[in-house]
């Protein structure tokens, strides 16, 4: 037994816990519950330094009145012993970008990594059944969807190879009324991929992956004798189709430089039920390089290539372009750092104005991780300068400029009112008294967005102060912010925010927080609204 479990304490418990209660009042139609609680925690039980039993949870009543495909509450446990790791509860796993890729499911999974091998398997519910609700038409109905998958791979110093399979299927009887009129049908999917990586010498690396997805868009369609791969799949019918994806890369990896050539091709309409978003109908070839200078004080990375769509020559119009990205990071001195980046690759990301964060009333609110837009190009410049530093004071200046060309795009259609161009500019200055812990800061932000119905300009200042009191056991912070927006030069709205935050640590690893946020908002042809949020919380770690 001693050889099995080792020496040391037989049981060791570590983790943390937080509980927050939020009271909402005011005449603003925020849609927020009058009272909400948020409970978060993670606990790990270590047995003889060998077995780990981590458990995490996230519970809230916020949004409990809505019926969603997946619950905002999360409960999960991830036990591990040597090279064995389990996942139980509300978890996510990734096999490949072309099959299962980070989709949350409720179920169980396991990962095994014995010497030179990798094995993974999972089974669970990817979305629960949600009936159509006339009172909340924005929340679309969904069929109950179950899925399973496995992955196996061999990992050696000179090469790696892996294969994975993923399958998901909707339950037709999970909805009493089929939502066909909304274009929602029960689907079934079988996807798989095989990947490899080979190093003939230490500085050369060859890698590639082939993915395949067979998708049935309506399980109720008539069966028919299918040809090719679809004929071997029991889930195929008249609504089924097979899609392919392929990528390969050749890289040179040196100590201070790198160089590579990559190719990727993804069939039109390629998708799986194991991922939230896919870029498809695309073929590109890229050349990338990276070089560091001046003892790693500066680095430059570049990627240039050619990309085009309409692979099946079925669109009324096709597009092609030169794709490029670049990044320069420089540390001019201990006090001056800068970063400049540009890309015009199409990616899915959350694009937000600075003012979405500034005007956010409650930092406990969950950001919608599915609020994605297709970003076609962006440029960003960030510079940080320590203007003064000594034993008493620290002065810091930050400047940020960004440009983004983006639009909401689903099914090849741009949604009306989606952002097409966005320019953000902001500067902030902080003044910290190191011995007393007093800090003063100010910021000025601008945002100019050109949307389909005109150009909007939003700008405004922010002032803040924070301090540590009573031997640094009490933290106090407050801020005031104001911003106003205009459309084609005509004023549209004003927002005023006041935030007060405090925390008290009576003993080590325990903290009590109190916060109050007040927001006043006015808009053209609408009465002014106000919202107040009071938060009390407790957190501890052990």
Report the C-alpha gap between 297 and 204 in whole angstroms.
25
Q: Using CB atoms within 10 Å of the CB of residue 282, give its burial: 0 to 12 exposed, 13 to 18 middle, 19+ buried.
A: buried
Per DSSP, 357 falls in state: H
Nearest-angstrom CA–CA distance, 171 and 222: 17
- Give per-10-residue mean pLDDT for the chain (542 aa): 55 90 80 83 86 87 62 83 94 95 94 96 94 80 96 96 97 93 94 97 96 96 84 91 96 93 96 89 94 91 90 81 91 94 68 59 51 67 95 95 72 49 93 91 93 84 93 91 91 93 91 94 89 93 90
Task: Determine the pLDDT at residue 270.
Answer: 96
* pTM of the entire predicted model: 0.76
Write down the pLDDT at residue 374.
54
pLDDT score for 33: 76
121-157 residues labelled b (16+ CB within 10 A) or e (exposed): bbebbbbbbbebeeeeeeeebbbbbbbbbbbebeeee
- DSSP, collapsed to helix, strand or coil, labels residue 213 as strand
CB-CB neighbours of 333 under 10 Å: 9
Helix (H) or strand (E) holding 4: helix 2-5
At 15, phi and psi to the nearest 5?
A: 155, -160
Specify which residues 320 forms β-bridges with: 308
For 221-244, give one letter per residue: b (16+ CB within 10 A) or e: eeeeebeeebeebebbbebbebbe
State how far the Cα of 475 lies from the Cα of 439, in Å rounded to an integer: 11
CA-to-CA distance for 91 and 76, rounded, in angstroms?
6
What pLDDT is stored for residue 370 in this prediction? 44
Architecture label for domain 113-541 = Beta Barrel (2.40)
- Provide the pLDDT for residue 411: 38
Looking at residue 412, its pLDDT comes to 42
In which residue are the tokens 């990962």 written? 111
pLDDT of residue 278: 81
**Residue 79 φ then ψ, to 5°:** -70, 145
**Nearest residue to 327 via CA among 290, 288, 301, 292:** 301
In this prediction, residue 455 carries a pLDDT of 87
Specify the DSSP class assigned to residue 130: B
Question: 412: which residues sit within 8 A by CB, 6+ positions away?
Answer: none
């Amino acid at each position: 037994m001693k050889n099995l479990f080792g020496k040391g304490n037989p049981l060791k418990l570590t983790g943390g816990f937080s509980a927050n209660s939020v009271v909402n009042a005011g005449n603003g139609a925020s849609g927020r519950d009058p009272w909400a609680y948020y409970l978060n925690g993670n606990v790990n039980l270590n047995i003889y330094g060998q077995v780990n039993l981590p458990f995490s949870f996230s519970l809230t009543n916020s949004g409990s009145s809505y019926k969603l495909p997946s619950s905002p509450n999360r409960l999960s446990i991830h036990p591990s012993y040597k090279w064995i790791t389990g996942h139980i509860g509300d978890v996510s796993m990734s096999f490949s970008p072309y099959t299962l890729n980070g989709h949350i499911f409720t179920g169980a999974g396991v990962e095994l990594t014995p010497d030179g091998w990798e094995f993974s398997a999972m089974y669970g519910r990817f979305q629960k059944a949600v009936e159509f609700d006339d009172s909340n038409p924005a929340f679309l109905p969904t069929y109950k969807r179950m899925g399973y998958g496995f992955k196996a791979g061999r990992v050696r110093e000179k090469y790696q190879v892996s294969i994975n399979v993923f399958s998901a299927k909707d339950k037709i009887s999970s909805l009493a009324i089929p939502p066909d009129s909304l274009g929602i049908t029960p689907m079934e999917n079988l996807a798989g991929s095989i990947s490899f990586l080979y190093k003939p010498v230490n500085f050369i690396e060859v890698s590639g992956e082939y993915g395949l997805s067979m998708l049935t868009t309506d399980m109720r369609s008539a069966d028919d004798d299918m040809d090719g791969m679809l004929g071997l799949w029991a889930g195929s019918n008249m609504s089924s189709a097979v899609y392919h994806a392929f990528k390969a890369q050749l890289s040179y990896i040196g100590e201070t430089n790198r160089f590579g050539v990559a190719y990727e091709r993804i069939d039109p309409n390629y998708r799986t039920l194991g991922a939230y978003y896919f870029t498809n109908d695309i073929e590109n070839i890229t050349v990338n390089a990276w070089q560091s200078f001046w003892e790693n004080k500066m680095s430059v990375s570049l990627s240039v290539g050619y990309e085009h769509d309409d692979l099946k020559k079925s669109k009324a119009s096709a597009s092609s372009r030169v794709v490029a990205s670049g990044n320069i990071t420089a540390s001019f001195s201990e006090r001056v750092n800068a970063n400049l980046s540009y890309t015009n690759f199409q990616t899915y990301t959350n694009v937000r104005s600075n003012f979405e964060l500034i005007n956010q009333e409650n930092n406990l609110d969950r950001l919608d991780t599915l609020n994605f837009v297709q970003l076609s190009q962006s440029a960003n410049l960030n510079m940080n300068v320590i203007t003064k530093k000594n034993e008493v004071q620290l002065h810091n200046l930050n400047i940020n400029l960004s440009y983004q060309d983006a639009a909401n795009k689903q099914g090849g259609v741009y949604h009306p009112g989606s952002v097409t161009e966005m320019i953000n500019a902001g500067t902030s200055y902080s003044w910290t008294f190191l011995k007393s812990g007093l800090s003063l800061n100010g910021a000025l932000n601008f945002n100019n967005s050109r949307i389909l119905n005109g150009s909007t300009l939003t700008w405004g200042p922010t002032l803040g102060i924070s301090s540590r009191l009573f031997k640094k056991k009490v933290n106090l912070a407050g801020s005031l912010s104001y911003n106003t927006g205009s459309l084609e030069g005509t004023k549209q709205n004003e927002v005023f925010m006041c935030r007060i935050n405090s925390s008290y640590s009576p003993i080590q690893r325990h903290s009590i927080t109190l916060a109050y946020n007040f927001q006043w908002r006015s808009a053209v042809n609408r009465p002014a609204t106000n919202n107040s949020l009071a938060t009390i919380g407790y957190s501890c770690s052990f």
